[in-house]
Structure 1
């Protein structure tokens, strides 16, 4: 038994820790997940995990990265609407395999490289579809959580909490940050800098909350109106899909 435990410890790495955490969360949820509980699952002492993840927040960041890797890559050579729809539904399939994933994604306060890479590819779908950066910016806001395969529930208790005011960024520091980001995330930077910003926004740092809310509402209402005029029915839509 001792030799088996030692062998397990030798093979431990970050990927194995993250995959084990995902499997454990699938069983007990992330509220029940702890470093101690994960260590028991891997047959190691808790301190052994800290060589691969710094704390539970780092663990959750890594678990979100695992989920992102499960999302099918964008379709090659597809027109923008098909590509966006495919990407959203692929994300939804990934999240449906892990009931805790939405909670983990919504709890992240700082975007990781994997999250930014995903958003970069998503922004690129709109820009490659010849959207103006301004329209792409607002389209991304209108999609909101749908980008990740979920929608925010009405009167979600977490959404009702007032957002903590973020410190005002220094203009020179912000310009330098965008210049650095543009090297890896040109689509994100193109969209983020396309529209004047409100520093007190909660939907996205510097974005106009009321405008984004009304934009998404109008997009949905326009779509409802088009379907109404076309005599749309869910039965017919499902028949065509099948």
Structure 2
């Protein structure tokens, strides 16, 4: 009996991790659970992501890629509105991933941007949970 090798890539790993987050929440995001969903051995995932933090960061970056970036020459008000609207749509589509961004920001550009926003919200007197709600 021959076994078919499952084609594995960083993109497929991140997409499957996001699917798990969307369907089952953060508790489901373990390397073992992800490997089961991919049909591979857990250690094979580490050829594509260095650790769970790297995986979380990649998932968050994928979700934030859904936020529409500024367009050249667009007025800032239109940019802010469009970006806020598209972020809200991403947050509604992927609430567990957004919660990861807000509660455990990765060491990525996305994580750094959230830390800046979080700092501003906290400086205005919001506690951690209020900052999370305001950001959503």
Q: 2:37 aligns with which of 26, 32, 41?
A: 41
Q: 2:107 aligns with which of 103, 111, 130?
A: 111
Query: Equivalent residue of 2:86, what SS?
Result: helix
Query: Equivalent residue of 2:26, what SS?
Result: coil
What are structure 1's unaligned runs of at least 5 residues?
Answer: 120-140, 146-202, 217-242
- Mapped partners of 2:24, 2:31: distance in 1: 13
> Is the counterpart of residue 80 in structure 1 residue 76 in structure 2?
yes
Query: Equivalent residue of 2:40, what SS?
Result: coil
Q: Which moved more, 1:74-83 or 1:92-101?
A: 74-83
Tell me what 2:93 maps to: 97
TM-score normalised by the chain length of structure 2? 0.77
Measured against aligned partners, the alpha-carbon deviations of 1:176-214 in whole angstroms (never above 9, x if no partner) come to xxxxxxxxxxxxxxxxxxxxxxxxxxx26xxxx6xx417
- Mapped partners of 1:3, 1:99: distance in 2: 37
- Mapped partners of 2:38, 2:106: distance in 1: 28
- Mapped partners of 1:26, 1:110: distance in 2: 18
Structure 1 segments of 4+ aligned residues over 6 angstroms from their partners: none
The number of aligned residues is: 123
Deviation at 1:52, TM superposition (A): 0.9
User: Is the CA contact (8 Å cut-off) linking 2:16 and 2:38 kept in structure 1?
Assistant: yes
- Mapped partners of 1:2, 1:77: distance in 2: 57
More helix by share: 2
> Is the counterpart of residue 213 in structure 1 residue 131 in structure 2?
no
Deviation at 1:83, TM superposition (A): 1.0
Structure number with larger C-alpha Rg? 1
Structure with larger RCO (C-alpha < 8 A, sep 6+): 2
TM-score normalised by the chain length of structure 1? 0.45
- Mapped partners of 1:79, 1:40: distance in 2: 47
